[in-house]
């Protein structure tokens, strides 16, 4: 394994183990959306050495990092003596099993008991097989139509319509586009940009890759998200793509996205304050921001930020990588997209 891959894997695994330990320590909320606290299921207790963990992976998934996830699960004291069984989507009977148990994304993790650890047990969901399911960061749809390289496919006409409504940073004729669905108030988006991942990728791939920043304002938790997105659009209208991206990077670098801050910074970049306020008062880009968010969700399944879509502009092959991943996680996918 190369140094880059080792670095990437260790970084991703550290994130996974932190999540699991937080769940154990404080009860967490990760994966809690399927929990019904009023429906308490009696614990199915088995001896530690009799615990079986079944993991279903898909070898086509570039970003699943399943082997690393398993390694970190094995470090949990409750699973130290458990038996791990790993299966691939292509194995006999696996597709039928997933369908019968209404499991739609991978990697999938099943336990033969719901008495694993007090911090995890609450988040185990019973499935038809009699096992208990826990999906950690699962997002790969094994049932979707895919290319020979395992990528999802998007109609080129649809792709072009998305790019037409976006400000493009870099060569407009690049072979690969990174569509980032983002929110100026999102701390993980700031982390992604402040780690220099966009800069490093553009330096490495130069004219081969461009970036299309699309809006995904999480208004329920980020009060400045919508107005921030609209300010970016108003600035882009007046000053163009370069200023659009400069203001976006400033917001992330300073981790500030209030209306007053963004307008002040825009004026420093040469925008006219009166024109900006008029643009905002008219709601000139309210619909555009909403439409970009809806497209991200409906077309790519984006539900949070940053939602990163890496796509080959010639073939329509794409992969979604959600979160503030390090540069080499993106490189793995881009290199595969570019491979002949």
For residue 53, the cross-strand partners are: 84, 111
pLDDT at 41: 58
Token pair belonging to 202: 């553009």
> Among 18, 55, 12, 22, which residue's Cα sits nearest to residue 123?
22
| Residue 316 vs residues 1, 143, 158: alpha-carbon distances, Å | 30, 18, 9
pLDDT at 19: 55
Beta strand 52-57 with 83-88: parallel, antiparallel or unpaired?
A: parallel
**Does residue 120 contact residue 113 with C-beta atoms inside 8 Å?**
no
CA–CA distance, 309 with 160 (Å, rounded to integer): 14
CA–CA distance, 54 with 112 (Å, rounded to integer): 8
Residue listed under structure tokens 């995904």: 216
Token pair belonging to 48: 């530690």
Side-by-side strand order, sheet with 132-134: 83-88, 52-57, 108-111, 132-134, 125-126
**Does residue 123 contact residue 31 with C-beta atoms inside 8 Å?**
yes
Q: Domain map of the chain by residue range?
A: 31-134, 152-224+284-338
CA–CA distance, 235 with 265 (Å, rounded to integer): 10
Token pair belonging to 22: 């937080």
**Does residue 229 contact residue 289 with C-beta atoms inside 8 Å?**
yes
pLDDT at 287: 98
With respect to CATH, is domain 152-224+284-338 assigned 1.25.40.10? no
pLDDT at 339: 95
Token pair belonging to 254: 């300073």
Spell out the alpha helix ranges (H) of 39-116: 66-73, 94-100
> Could you tell me how many residues make up the chain?
340
pLDDT at 61: 84
Pick out the chain residues at pLDDT < 70: 1-44, 135-137
Question: What CATH class does 31-134 carry?
Answer: alpha beta
- The alpha carbon torsion through 195, 198, 200, 203 (nearest 10 deg) reads -160
What is the distance, to the nearest Å, from the Cα of residue 148 to the centroid of all Cα atoms in its chain?
A: 23
Token pair belonging to 32: 């809690």
**Does residue 66 contact residue 137 with C-beta atoms inside 8 Å?**
no
Token pair belonging to 332: 């793995």
**Does residue 224 contact residue 261 with C-beta atoms inside 8 Å?**
no
CA–CA distance, 297 with 115 (Å, rounded to integer): 35
pLDDT at 20: 52
């Amino acid at each position: 394994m190369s140094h880059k891959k080792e670095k990437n894997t260790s970084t991703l695994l550290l994130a996974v183990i932190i999540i699991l330990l937080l769940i154990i320590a404080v009860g967490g909320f990760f994966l809690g959306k399927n929990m019904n606290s009023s429906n308490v299921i009696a614990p199915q207790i088995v001896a530690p050495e009799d615990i079986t963990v079944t993991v279903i992976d898909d070898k086509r998934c570039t970003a699943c990092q399943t082997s690393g996830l398993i390694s970190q699960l094995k470090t949990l004291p409750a699973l130290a003596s458990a038996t791990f069984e790993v299966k691939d989507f292509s194995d006999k009977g696996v597709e039928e099993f997933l369908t019968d148990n209404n499991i739609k994304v991978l990697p999938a993790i099943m336990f033969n008991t719901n008495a694993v650890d007090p911090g995890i047990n609450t988040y185990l969901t019973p499935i038809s097989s009699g096992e208990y399911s826990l999906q950690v960061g699962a997002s790969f749809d094994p049932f979707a139509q895919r290319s020979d390289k395992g990528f999802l496919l998007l109609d080129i006409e649809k792709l072009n319509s998305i790019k037409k409504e976006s400000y493009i940073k870099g060569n407009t004729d690049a072979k690969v586009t990174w569509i980032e669905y983002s929110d100026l108030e999102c701390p993980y988006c700031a982390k992604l940009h402040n780690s220099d991942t966009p800069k490093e990728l553009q330096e490495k791939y130069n004219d081969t890759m461009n970036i299309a920043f699309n809006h995904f304002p999480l208004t329920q938790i980020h009060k400045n998200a919508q107005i921030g997105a609209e300010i970016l659009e108003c600035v882009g209208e007046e000053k163009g793509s370069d200023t659009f991206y400069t203001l976006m990077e400033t917001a992330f670098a300073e981790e500030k996205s209030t209306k007053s801050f963004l307008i002040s910074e825009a004026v420093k970049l040469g925008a006219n304050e009166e024109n900006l306020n008029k643009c905002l008062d008219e709601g000139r880009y309210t619909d555009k921001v909403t439409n970009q968010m809806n497209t991200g969700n409906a077309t790519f399944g984006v539900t949070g930020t940053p939602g990163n879509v890496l796509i080959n502009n010639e073939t329509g092959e794409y992969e979604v990588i959600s979160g503030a991943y390090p540069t080499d996680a993106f490189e793995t996918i881009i290199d595969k997209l570019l491979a002949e």
